[in-house]
Structure 1
Amino acid sequence: MVMTGHTFQELVEDDELRAALTATSPEIITIARRA
């Protein structure tokens, strides 16, 4: 999954996007928090 126009940090800080990503791909959030 490639995110354009957003950094992982911005996505993690966005509640709606984080909820959507967590629902579909929890590993993405784990990677983003490590970065």
Structure 2
Amino acid sequence: MKGSALAFMALAWGIIIIWMYLAVSKLLKAGQKS
């Protein structure tokens, strides 16, 4: 049970980090255009 919970936490954090990276890259690209 603990192992699956840790795996779920790692997956959730990975998704959050990917979303944050995409959002930051979009903001940087938008900033470079203007």
* TM-score (norm. length: structure 1): 0.32
Greater RCO between the two (CA within 8 Å, min separation 6)? 1
Larger radius of gyration: 2
* TM-score (norm. length: structure 2): 0.33
Higher normalized helix content (fraction of residues): 2
